[in-house]
């Protein structure tokens, strides 16, 4: 199956900062959707989208969570928007060790936008009354890979974290306890 190309639909959120009025409805619905159980609470720190704002100039820029970065980036570029200087981190989508944005407040685990998995479109887009958030879909060719089973993925993750020998020892101990 390797070497074959497969078409995949990639969804992204295009942000039109000129239309954002800073209402933060996107943050509210995102945090409610990702609460456990769904819609049981609202904590903006759990939101996978944040609105960066400059209050005096009335400028708002929504930024949604991307991939986890295990190390700080080397760049610290500066951006000037309407005379105010922002550093690169303000618009970065990554959760990284150098800042607390896009991290689960209780566990510290990184957050990533999942496009409201299970919904027909991300809820932040549905709730954006000014159309500042727009769903875009494009088709990309990707290398076809065999799908791994959920159990295999879990075991691979455990082996990477704890080592194969510890998993073997634990399974042997569990099977002995079950016999006795």
Residue 94: pLDDT band (50, 70, 90) is confident
At residue 2, the pLDDT reads 52
Task: Give tens-digit pLDDT for 141-169.
Answer: 877 666 667 777 777 877 887 888 888 88
137 sits in which H/E element: strand 133-143
Q: Evaluate if residue 86 carries a pLDDT over 80.
A: no
pTM: 0.65
At residue 49, the pLDDT reads 94
Please provide the DSSP assignment of 48-109 as one string. SEEEEEETTTTEEEEEE---B-SS--S---EEEETTEEEEGGGG---B-TT--TTB-TTT-P
Residue 75: pLDDT band (50, 70, 90) is low
Q: Encoding tokens for residue 7? A: 């078409």
CA–CA distance, 125 with 113 (Å, rounded to integer): 13
Residue 65 CB neighbour total at 10 angstroms: 22
């Amino acid at each position: 199956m390797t070497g074959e190309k497969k078409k995949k639909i990639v969804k992204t959120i295009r942000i039109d900062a000129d239309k954002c009025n800073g209402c933060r409805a996107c943050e509210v619905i995102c945090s409610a959707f990702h609460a456990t159980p769904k819609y049981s609470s609202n904590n903006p720190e759990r939101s996978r989208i944040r609105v960066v704002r400059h209050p005096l100039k009335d400028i708002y820029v929504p930024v949604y969570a991307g991939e986890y970065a295990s190390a700080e980036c080397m760049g610290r570029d500066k951006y000037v928007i309407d005379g105010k200087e922002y550093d690169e981190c303000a618009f970065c989508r990554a959760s990284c060790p150098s800042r607390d944005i896009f991290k689960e407040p209780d566990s510290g685990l990184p957050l990533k936008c999942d496009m409201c998995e299970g919904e027909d479109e991300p809820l932040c887009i549905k709730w954006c009354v000014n159309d500042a958030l727009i769903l875009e879909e494009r088709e990309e060719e990707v290398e076809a890979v065999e799908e791994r089973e959920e159990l295999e993925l879990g075991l691979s993750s455990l082996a990477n974290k704890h080592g194969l020998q510890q998993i073997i020892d634990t399974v042997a101990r569990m099977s002995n306890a079950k016999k006795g």
